[in-house]
Structure 1
Amino acid sequence: MGLFDKLTGTRHPGSGVAPRTAEEVRAALLGLNGPDVPYLVRNGTPSESADLVAEWRILEPAWRTFFVRTQLDRTVRTLMRLMPDSHEVRTVDEQWKVQWVGDTPRLAQSREYSRGQVTMKSRQWTFERGDDGKLHKTETFTFDPAEMKDPLRDAVLDAGWVWRGVVFKL
């Protein structure tokens, strides 16, 4: 693995893993969907220039309260293009800054946008004075895009394909 691969998050499957077909890789990625995961893997649209897209379920009623409660300020989606000839999935992340507005919070997208490989984490802590009189920090929430990207990447690697992070174009 080269330095550029490390910077882009590119990973190669283990030796001896036979590459599966593109249809099997697509099925494995779509198979990650479920009611208990806070993201959705769906088919991409022509305007997205992607075969598959993974995105957080921010607007779904069942998950909205979770994301509102945590006051998430950025949203990430991963665009994936299957490259059957080279047995790789090329990925790029899109990130938007978002804002929750109104009494019944709704999502408002800002103009702040970035594209590339996103690795940001969001954390929240509470500080409380303990019995010993000292302040103690407790982490109350962590939002990590790896919660979505790790299962995607693992499904691709298990299928014998390369997970190739790209910075600009798929």
Structure 2
Amino acid sequence: MGLRDRLLGTKYPESGSIPRSTSEVQDSLLAIDGADTPYRVRRANPLEKADVVAEWWIPPRSSSREQVDRRIRIRMRLDPHGREVRILQEQWTSTREELSWSRGYSRGWGFAVEREWTYERGPDGRRRKVETYRLDTRDMRNALRKVVLSAGWTWRGVFRL
């Protein structure tokens, strides 16, 4: 694995794993979509230039003065000849404060981790920290990558599809 593979997040399946068919990989990716996942996995439309798309729209939190609206999309193109899934991760952000507003777009292997805690009394009467909100955008990418690698395919990051 070279420098380019490390920078793009390319992962290879275990040696000796038997690659599954393209339709099985696509069906496995689409099966991730469920009621308990905060993101959506669907077939791509022709304008997206991909086979499968995973999207996660993270609504703004109102706990602070700043509101950040974030949308993450991973476009996946299945290459049956190379037995690899080529992926492009995109992220849109929109930040609103009292008198300012900004928007941003990024492409590549970024991630965001957000957590919030509150203090409350435990059963023993002592104050303790309790996590009330958790967000890690790597959860979506890791679930998709696990499915691809378990199918015997390569997970390859690209600059454009």
| Shorter-chain TM-score range | 0.7 to 0.9
Residues in 2 aligned to 1:100 and 1:27: alpha-carbon distance in whole angstroms:
39
Segments of structure 2 that go 5 or more residues without pairing to the other structure are none
Query: Tell me, what secondary structure is at the counterpart of 1:149?
Result: helix
State the TM-score, normalized to the length of structure 1.
Answer: 0.75
Query: In the alignment, what sits opposite 2:31?
Result: 31
CA contact (8 A) 1:73 1:99 kept: yes
Equivalent in the alignment of 2:154: 162
**1:97 and 2:93 aligned:** yes
CA contact (8 A) 1:96 1:110 kept: no
- Quote the residue 2:2 is aligned against: 2
State the match for 1:104 in structure 2: none
User: C-alpha displacement at 1:154, in angstroms?
Assistant: 0.5
Identity of matched residues, %? 48
Q: Could you tell me which amino acid in structure 2 is paired with residue 15 of structure 1? A: S
Residue equivalent to 2:113? 121
Q: Structure 2 CA distance, aligned partners of 1:123 and 1:90? A: 31
For 1:55 and 1:10, locate their aligned partners in 2 and report how far apart those are by CA, in whole Å.
20
SS at match of 2:85: strand
Deviations for 1:103-157, whole angstroms, at most 9, x for unmatched residues? xxxxxx96311112222322334478xx999xx8665422111111111000000
Q: Which runs of 5+ in 1 are unaligned?
A: 59-63, 102-108
- Contact kept? 1:39, 1:148, Cα under 8 Å: yes
**What one-letter code is carried by the residue in structure 1 that aligns with 2:56?**
W
Query: Structure 1 43/139 Cα, relative in aligned 2: closer, same or farther at 3 Å?
Result: same
In the alignment, is the contact (CA less than 8 A) between 1:68 and 1:100 conserved in 2? no
RMSD: 3.0
Report the Cα distance in structure 2 between the residues aligned to 1:38 and 1:100, rounded to whole angstroms. Answer: 23
* Counterpart mapping for 1:1-170 below 5 A: 1-56=1-56, 58=58, 68=61, 73-99=69-95, 111-126=103-118, 139-166=131-158, 168-170=159-161
